[in-house]
Amino acid sequence: MRTPILTYGAASTLALAMGLAPLAGHAQDAAPGEAPEVSRQEVLAAMSEDTRYMVEDVAVNGGYVWSYLPDMSKRWGEMEAFESMVWVQPPGTATMGHLFLDAYHATGDELYYEAAKETAGALIWGQTDEGGWNYMFDFAGPASLQRWYDTIGKAGWRLEEFHHNWENATFDDAGTAEATQFLLRVYLEKLDPTFRPALDKAIDLVLASQQPMGTWPQRFPEIQLWEGDYTSYPTLNDDVAAENMETLIMAWQTLGRQDVLPAIHRGMDAFLLLQQGPDQPGFSLQYDASLNPVAARSYEPLALATHTSASALTKLMDFYELTGDTRYLARVGEGIAWLERVRLPEDQWQDGRQFPTFIEIGTDRPIYVHRRGSNAVSGEYYWDYSSENLLGHYSGLREIDLDEMRARYERLMNTPPEEVTANSPLNPENGVVLPEFFTLGDIDVSDLNASGREPTEEVDATQVSELIGSLNEEGYWPTELVATSNPYVGEPPVAPSEGDFAGTRVGDAYDTSPFLTETPMTGISTSAFIENMGALIRYLDQIES
């Protein structure tokens, strides 16, 4: 999922607040020995060529998954997909739509607006009756989607969210939020009334799904397929609440919908309720109806979570900047002090990760999750106090910049409310607008094929020349697909296969979970397309500013 940040500040500040790095200034003339400036026309031609390929040869009715083999014989979202399926979960269909709008803003070429319209049409087709989106949808219809769940989805050992077809919308991984935000942008572009009903229905879903205490479930409408089904629980996991509030704030900023303001404030107040008592002032991934911490997926035990606690404390500071209400800062210091207390001894740090993911409630002891078995049938997860042999697909340790959090907290504590809210979008007099570009910053996604590189502020001519030169004859950027998956080969056996799968991303041959391969194939990647197009958009701004 992309990194969600609540929007606030003036237009330039807002772009930074949403994780969008500022565009660089005018490129300088090439020095001796450096590559000459690439012309605007060359850049436009490359952007147009690959976009036409994606729209005409890759998209399914305007929708996308994450990666494809060149002959389209296989394709993947977070898992392998049928040829009739498209993925909503970033960097899927809505992310592609955001990129098309960004390219339209950078070039003025109607090609990109038309591509964005097609993408919006795909999302509207896949919208649930209530107004949200599942991780994916299938143009072949419900029977085909159910067949996918009964085979590929069910066999993914570690991907428990795909073991069941809840037949409702999910707020997990920003899918519904990003799709709603994209529909908002495409509607605002030309105020085309075609998109307004679906947009309003999506915003109404966010409002209808808010629980009495101001929280949101992971999925909506709320159903329970079994005792303890976690999807109806109030959740902070994967920034569900923050993403929904961001969507509502954007609706307030641009549509002036008065009905979203109470929901925004209830959502912010819910964070005050979810922070635990003074002995352990942290946060859990999810809660029960009484707002007590609960377990969720098999590898998410009943515990407090350090990364979720850090995210929630950061959101509380955001809320102070939005409202000037000192209640949101009142216990942030406690939370930061608690995180400092549960930081691991230095000899237990790994690759900059200093915090255990899970903390036992009542003791502050780190707990660690492990697994045994080999597939979705024979495998099981369990936890203990040992940091040995941790999971390969879900980090048992986290990196948190506590110094930065503390510095921000101290700065806000010394900033008067009237000063800190000067640019808050909740103030209708501020005239805050949405940023021009949404995909030029760091986009946090689950796609194993994504490069993980942070975008730079300035793109030089050499990089642009190499990008243009790397387009192949078909018109796309060939990308090394480092992720793959086992094909579905039938119901996994009860007896585990031989081998140690405790620390791997994938189990035995029956496990359809994606994994990193040592023999990658060349293919087509939406992540690479978005990243490369973003670099070209930056370059256009540099040579024109």
Span 182-212, pLDDT tens digits: 999 999 999 999 999 999 999 999 999 999 9
Q: Mean pLDDT in the chain?
A: 91
Span 112-139, pLDDT tens digits: 999 999 999 999 999 999 999 999 999 9
For the four alpha carbons of 204, 209, 213 and 214, in that order, the dihedral sign comes to: negative
Q: What is the 3-state secondary structure (H, E, C) of 278-344?
A: CCCCCCCCEECCCCCEECCCCCCCCCEEHHHHHHHHHHHHHHHHHHCCHHHHCCHHHHHHHHHHHCC
Cα 127 to Cα 354: distance, rounded to the nearest angstrom: 41
List all residues 6 or more positions away from 370 whose beta carbon is below 8 Å from its beta carbon: 381, 382, 383, 384, 386, 389, 390, 391, 502
Select from 179, 166, 142, 39 the least CA-distant residue to 544. Answer: 39
Percent of the chain with pLDDT over 70: 93
The mean-pLDDT minimum among 43-52, 288-297, 329-338, 421-430 falls in: 421-430
What local confidence, expressed as pLDDT, does residue 494 receive? 95
Cα 417 to Cα 321: distance, rounded to the nearest angstrom: 8
Cα 99 to Cα 525: distance, rounded to the nearest angstrom: 14
Q: Which domains does the chain have, with CATH numbers?
A: 11-544 (1.50.10.20)
What local confidence, expressed as pLDDT, does residue 370 receive? 98
User: Three-state DSSP class for 246?
Assistant: helix
For the four alpha carbons of 66, 69, 70 and 73, in that order, the dihedral sign comes to: negative
The angle at the Cα of 242, spanning 236 to 247, to the nearest 5 degrees, equals 140
pLDDT tier at 423, thresholds 50, 70, 90: confident
What local confidence, expressed as pLDDT, does residue 444 receive? 67
DSSP designation for 64: -
pLDDT average, residue stretch 154-169: 97
Pairing relationship of beta strands 85-87 and 397-398 according to DSSP bridges: unpaired
| Other C-beta atoms lying within 10 Å of the C-beta of residue 399 | 15
To which residue do tokens 């009334």 refer?
193
Residue 365 has pLDDT above 80, yes or no: yes
Cα 26 to Cα 373: distance, rounded to the nearest angstrom: 57
The side-by-side arrangement of strands in the sheet containing 380-384 is 304-305, 358-359, 366-372, 380-384
What local confidence, expressed as pLDDT, does residue 457 receive? 78
Helical segments of 127-174, H only: 142-148
pLDDT average, residue stretch 81-88: 98
The mean-pLDDT minimum among 95-99, 172-176, 394-398, 425-429 falls in: 425-429
pLDDT tier at 7, thresholds 50, 70, 90: very low
Longest CA–CA span in the chain (Å) reads 70
What local confidence, expressed as pLDDT, does residue 227 receive? 84
Cα 88 to Cα 122: distance, rounded to the nearest angstrom: 10
The tokens describing 407, both together, are 């510095």
Q: What is the 3-state secondary structure (H, E, C) of 180-193?
A: HHHHHHHHHHHCCH
What local confidence, expressed as pLDDT, does residue 35 receive? 58
pLDDT average, residue stretch 85-113: 97
List all residues 6 or more positions away from 230 whose beta carbon is below 8 Å from its beta carbon: 218, 286, 294, 295, 296, 297
**Bridge-partner residues for 382, per DSSP?**
370
In the chain, count H helices and then E strands.
15, 16
**Bridge-partner residues for 170, per DSSP?**
219
What local confidence, expressed as pLDDT, does residue 202 receive? 98
HSE-CB at 63 with a 13 A cutoff on CA atoms is 29
Distance in Å from the first CA to the final CA of the chain: 32
